[in-house]
Structure 1
Amino acid sequence: MKEKRSFFQMVFGTNRQPPPQQYTQMQMLNSSPTFYDFAGDGYDSDTVRSTVDAFARNVGKLKAKHIRKINGQIGPPTNSNIEWLLQVRPNRFMNAYIFYYRLATQFLMSNNVFVWVRRDAMNKIEGFYPLNSAGVELLEYQGEMYVRFRFYDGKQYVAPYFDIIHLRRFFFNDDMWGESNKKALNPVLNLIAVTNQGIANAVKSSAFIRGILKFTSMLKPEDMKAQTDKFQADYLSAANNGGIAATDSKAEYQELKNDPKMIDDKQMMAMENKVNSYFGTNDKIVQSKYNEAEWGAFYESMIEPFALQMGLEFTAKVFSEREQGHGNEIVFEANRLQYASNDTKVKIIETLVDRGMMSINQGLEVFNLPPIEDGEKRIMSLNFIDADKASEYQLGKVNKQPATAPKGGEDKNDDGGQPPNPNV
């Protein structure tokens, strides 16, 4: 019978950490070594979820590249396995899009992202696993920093901090952790929740009639209550679809006007804009109504900084100092031309292809067209010249051969030693 393994064991394996009693708590300068993730209750709000999704689904389209810079020139990487992991399947349970979507979501919701770099016995990277834990604690062992993750099921795992890719947002007071969203975001979320509840209650209350039942004759209290209960059961319930009540001469019904107060759409939009601004976006990005300039602003203000931070942190945790010294680097990039207008795409492609800065297949990719055979070749217009030879070309000295005398020793251009006539 095959042994059952938990998800925890599938990710971390067994016996992969030293005994916990060997560690001591790390002493910090301005903060506690223990950090508790924001519970993420804000993700239950549809406004927050749609805003975070707009960021995460675009981050998921980033493409990771392993490059190697040698003397300022980008050469082929020596380890293609890293690039395959980051571009196709970072771990056994996630493809690349889902992996980066998860990182982006955690980045906005908890302002701290932890990715464990799993290595085998030969120190070869096997995968990248994002960790979402109930608590994180910094430890010290033999002068090195470690991180203990406490998961929601009670299990724990300790890993060297330099095997943990740590991305942060709102990094201010704490020495190691990004600030919590709770104090800054909860007030507006509570206001939106109360507003939504008020709207729901207003809709419900408008479906019923309300009023005072005034009896024209003297009745005993128990008879009055019985008549009131019967009237309420017959006419003031959801079963009264018509909304009409009938009485006889014993009672008179006086209607009470039901005028529920609700905020207008401008006030509701103002609250949603506060949430969007907190996460660095706007309703046009969330609803995919942006134009070329609006997308460029969103990319430069939110996606590009996140991609830059990921590139720096992945580089530092994936490669040793020696490998980094040999130019190995991880970068994240996106094809921003995909979001440009067709006119802009055509102009850019014409300019770059004419100057040999873009191959034919790269130009086809901008329009989501398949590559062609030999499309990686670069072509260039003959209307351009090497800048170093431009002055020589203008003076007529390029490839100019000295004149030779005709046979017989006579020079047909000999003018008897007279200077040339400038007017000719």
Structure 2
Amino acid sequence: MLLDGLFKKGPSQATQASLLNNTVPIFSQYGRNIYASDIVQTCIDCIASEMSKLQPRHIRCDPNTGKLLTPASNMLNNLLKRMPNPLMITRDFIEKTIWTLYLNSNTWIYPAYDVVTNSKGISSRNYTAIWPLNPMQTEWLEDASGSIFIRMTFRGGKQTTLPYEDLIHLRKKFSVNDVMGGGESGTVDNAALLKVLSINETVLTGTANSVTLSQGIRGILKVNTTIDDKMKAAERAAFMKSVADGSGVAVMDFKGDFTPVNFASKTIDSETMKFIDSKILRWFGVSVPILDGTYTDAEYAAFYNKTLEPIIISLNQAFTTVLFSPFEIANGNEVRFYQNALELTDIKNKMLICDTLGNRGAMSNNDLLALFGLPPIENGDVYYTSLNYINVAIADQYQLARAGIQSQKPTAAEEGGNK
């Protein structure tokens, strides 16, 4: 297996960690049955596809000056920008991460690294790959020192135990469980959604059966005598031949009576179908215009703020916390998932902000780039202001000087005489 040998060895002695609610911290992944629904798959694919446009970067904010810098030569940035691991480009990595998050309400990511020591004896991590993991079961363990470990069981029975501090753990609907996202059991909780999907499936199946039935038996030919199967077939064939002659009139003798059977094809009104679909769409925070690409700026802004931005914030914080030591974080190192290819909304409003604040020296070039979801540039912490604006305290003097008129300030004697 490709991932064999990448993981660091877990502790030789560890016991199950204790949770506040005294539950056993072993979690299996369930809930895949909701993905038989085409609406569910479409919603998640829409979210994952949008998120895959993000561009993660390792940046550094100077704690003294506040300037944002992008480290020039950096192995971590090479991984984040291009190929987090040998099997995935960045887009694939993000898309798989989001799908797994919605599938299990938990996503596990392992950044593989080597420990290197410089000439001064200072050790640091050299990251070699970043792997999204999809274990079938996770078990929380604790050693004698209180350190937390995660024992993961994968398909096929393979297991590995990793320090929790080395794992990027993203959670969705983190609520009643102490350590895992999802429901009380620490797994995806789709009970409410499954009820709606069940109704939707019943409606679709019933409509399909109604249409099929309406195209089935159209009438009963009663032969007024006792006949065997061969004679029944012959009578039916004779009747169908009479119907098929194109006249629209069937000719029968006294032995047969035809009784038509009318099956009205029942369909669900459009408002009911929209109501059912809307409940599923609201579950995932995706609207119809977002799905079919006919959204306005305001509709996309709502989708971004409600559905995408919370996940982006989680990615920023989780990656930063795990990939950097407390010392590195204190010195301004962080990972940001920039959305310059994602947040293409409210451009007019952003341009208005640029004109209003940027031209008055209230925003640096990097501030303006961040407004459009772009990473900082070198020497970008420069503030520019338009010469069309001046300090109000010297406005009169400025205008008089430009007009060649001496400022009409009262002399000291005049000021004394006016007292």
Taking structure 2 as the reference length, what is the TM-score of the superposition?
0.77
CA offsets 1:379-403 (integer angstroms, 9 cap, x no match): 6531134xxx541444459999xxx
3-state SS in 1 of match to 2:76? helix
Residues 352, 233 of structure 1: CA spacing in aligned structure 2 closer, same or farther, 3 A cutoff? farther
2:284 paired residue number: 279
1:163 equivalent to 2:154? Answer no
3-state SS in 2 of match to 1:11? coil
1:268 paired residue number: 273
1:88 equivalent to 2:90? Answer no
1:54 paired residue number: 46
1 CA distance for matches of 2:355 and 2:45? 35
Note if contact 2:365-2:382 (Cα within 8 Å) is conserved in structure 1.
yes
Aligned with residue 66 of structure 1, among 58, 72, 96: 58
Q: By how many angstroms is 1:309 displaced?
A: 1.1
Note if contact 2:43-2:284 (Cα within 8 Å) is conserved in structure 1.
yes
1:120 equivalent to 2:125? Answer no
Note if contact 2:54-2:342 (Cα within 8 Å) is conserved in structure 1.
no
1:132 equivalent to 2:137? Answer no
1:303 equivalent to 2:308? Answer yes
CA offsets 1:155-210 (integer angstroms, 9 cap, x no match): 11221111111111111111111122331221111222222222222332233333
1 CA distance for matches of 2:238 and 2:180? 61
Q: By how many angstroms is 1:35 displaced?
A: 1.0
Q: By how many angstroms is 1:257 displaced?
A: 0.5
2:209 paired residue number: 201
Note if contact 2:301-2:346 (Cα within 8 Å) is conserved in structure 1.
no
The amino acid of 1:36's aligned partner reads S
Residues 72, 106 of structure 1: CA spacing in aligned structure 2 closer, same or farther, 3 A cutoff? farther
Farther-moved stretch of structure 1 (97-106 vs 327-336): 327-336
Q: By how many angstroms is 1:340 displaced?
A: 3.3
In the TM superposition, 1:14-25 aligns within 5 A as: 16-18=8-10, 22-25=13-16
Residues 334, 398 of structure 1: CA spacing in aligned structure 2 closer, same or farther, 3 A cutoff? farther
CA offsets 1:241-285 (integer angstroms, 9 cap, x no match): x9x896742322211111132212211111111111111221111
1 CA distance for matches of 2:79 and 2:234? 71
Note if contact 1:136-1:149 (Cα within 8 Å) is conserved in structure 2.
yes
Residues 340, 280 of structure 1: CA spacing in aligned structure 2 closer, same or farther, 3 A cutoff? closer
Q: By how many angstroms is 1:313 displaced?
A: 0.8
Residues 234, 297 of structure 1: CA spacing in aligned structure 2 closer, same or farther, 3 A cutoff? farther
1:174 equivalent to 2:177? Answer yes
CA offsets 1:349-380 (integer angstroms, 9 cap, x no match): 555664464769x88x97x9xxxxx9999865
2:98 paired residue number: 104
Aligned with residue 192 of structure 1, among 176, 200, 216: 200
CA offsets 1:214-261 (integer angstroms, 9 cap, x no match): 122x315xx1x444466779999xxx9x9x896742322211111132
Higher relative contact order (CA 8 A, sep 6+): 2
Residues 107, 247 of structure 1: CA spacing in aligned structure 2 closer, same or farther, 3 A cutoff? farther
In the TM superposition, 1:22-33 aligns within 5 A as: 22-30=13-21, 31-33=23-25
Structure 2: unaligned runs, 5 residues or longer: 117-124, 183-187, 403-412
1:409 paired residue number: none
1:42 equivalent to 2:45? Answer no
1 CA distance for matches of 2:295 and 2:218? 47
2 CA distance for matches of 1:245 and 1:209? 19
3-state SS in 2 of match to 1:260? coil
Residues 90, 174 of structure 1: CA spacing in aligned structure 2 closer, same or farther, 3 A cutoff? same
Q: By how many angstroms is 1:212 displaced?
A: 2.2
2:221 paired residue number: 213
2 CA distance for matches of 1:313 and 1:156? 24
Note if contact 2:112-2:129 (Cα within 8 Å) is conserved in structure 1.
yes
1 CA distance for matches of 2:77 and 2:337? 11
In the TM superposition, 1:365-384 aligns within 5 A as: 380-384=385-389
CA offsets 1:118-174 (integer angstroms, 9 cap, x no match): 112533211211111211111122321111221122211221111111111111111
3-state SS in 2 of match to 1:330? strand
Aligned residue-pair number: 376
2 CA distance for matches of 1:27 and 1:181? 23
Note if contact 2:53-2:342 (Cα within 8 Å) is conserved in structure 1.
no
3-state SS in 1 of match to 2:59? strand
2:256 paired residue number: 251
1 CA distance for matches of 2:399 and 2:24? 74
3-state SS in 2 of match to 1:290? coil
The amino acid of 2:48's aligned partner reads A
The amino acid of 2:208's aligned partner reads A
CA offsets 1:71-97 (integer angstroms, 9 cap, x no match): 360342557322222222211111111
Q: By how many angstroms is 1:98 displaced?
A: 1.6
1:145 paired residue number: 148
Note if contact 1:67-1:76 (Cα within 8 Å) is conserved in structure 2.
yes
3-state SS in 1 of match to 2:67? strand
Residues 132, 14 of structure 1: CA spacing in aligned structure 2 closer, same or farther, 3 A cutoff? closer
The amino acid of 1:104's aligned partner reads I
1:3 paired residue number: none
